[in-house]
Amino acid sequence: MKVGIPRGLLFYHYYPMWKVFLEGIGAEVITSPPTSKEILNLGTKSSHDDVCLPVKIFFGHTVYLAGRKVDFLFIPRVVAVEKEAYTCPKFLGLPDVVRNTLENLPPLIDATVNVKRKDKSPLKAALEIGKQLGAPVSRIKSAYREACENHWNYRNLMLKGFTPDEAIDILFKERGWEKKEGGRDIKIGVIGHPYNVYDRFPTLDLLGKLEELGVEVVTGEMIRQEDIEHHAQFLPKRLFWSYERDIVGAAFYLIHKRKVDGIINVVSFECGPDSLITELLQSEARRNDNFPMMVITLDEHTGEAGLQTRVEAFVDMLRRRK
């Protein structure tokens, strides 16, 4: 039984956990390849103009997998991952939007995770998925335990400075990655949703460009959750979106502790949550002696030359300041 996991949106948060769980209950996991022009075109052709770029890309990966004859598509409905907040509304309705927009899809695995409700806990979702795939309860529970353990291994690798792709290689291909050497003269925090920061196609390989410019990069996933939580509390009011609160907490930590020389905030065009948090980050940067910050807004028309020039200029400016 083949289960397709589209390489977009929450893939970067949870893929190792999902893969270990699904394999533990007897499924073969198929993922779409890294985002490419072909995948983006599939997504833009099949989605509405007014959705954000990451959702269009997700649609592209979904269409790609549907054409590869998988038996199920794994598109859970992640409503809330903590008691006090929700995820972006796009995640709440994702399986419905996919089902009602795309044609000729295999059945979806669309269990709901909502930690505000006892009957929608992650374990309950795992049991529902296991039942859908015909696995016995004892096997579902042991796969779930192993998956949770793997999730923390994944998080710990990112805390050590590995990107999601590198961490996934280490976990599943047993590939030995050298820990990145520090000691570069400039450090930049690249802050944003993981599907914006790490997906090399829509960002025109921003992380690779910074690497070539001799910059050490720090991302939100490389910061301890305690530090993120602590610094998110500097907001006058608690944000009601979990992942965006993490982004704000990570950026505030880097600014308050002067852990980097500047921040690049990667945002999506047509993203409501991003437009709000960008304002919050810019005003915090101004309040902290005009801490250097550059905003890169991604859409399907972002041009390589313009981005390269802006990134080089920002890095030059940071070097001169130093």
Q: Which residues bind ligand SF4 (CB under 6 A)?
A: 52, 54-55, 88, 90, 193, 268, 271-274
Task: State the minimum distance, in angstroms, from the CB of residue 314 to ligand SF4.
Answer: 22
DSSP 104: S
- Cβ of residue 28: shortest distance to ligand SF4, in angstroms? 28
For ligand SF4, the closer CB: 52 or 251: 52
Pick between residue 90 and residue 230 the one whose CB is nearest to ligand SF4: 90
Q: Copy the structure tokens of residue 68.
A: 């590869």
Buried b (16+ CB within 10 A) or exposed e, 18-31: bbbbbebbebebbb
Closer residue to ligand SF4 (CB): 157 or 277: 277
- Give the shortest CB-158-to-ligand SF4 separation in angstroms: 19
How far apart are alpha carbons 235 and 216 in whole angstroms?
Answer: 28
204: tokens are 């025109």
Measured from the CB atom, the residue of 9 and 140 that comes closer to ligand SF4 is 9
CA distance linking residue 78 with residue 10, whole number of Å: 9
Q: From its phi and psi, is residue 69 left (phi > 0), alpha (psi between -120 and 50) or beta?
A: left
If the CB atoms of residues 88 and 281 are measured against ligand SF4, the closer one turns out to be: 88
Residue 2 beta carbon to ligand SF4: minimum distance, rounded to whole angstroms: 26
Residue position matching structure tokens 């983006």? 40
User: What residues contact residue 95 under an 8 Å CB cut-off, 6+ apart?
Assistant: 75, 76, 77, 108, 110
Minimum Å gap between C-beta 77 and ligand SF4 is 13
CB of 51 to ligand SF4, least distance (A): 7
User: CA–CA distance from 94 to each of 51, 138, 144 (Å)?
Assistant: 12, 30, 23
Closer to ligand SF4 by Cβ: residue 246 or 274? 274
Query: CA 264, CA 269: separation in Å to the nearest integer?
Result: 15
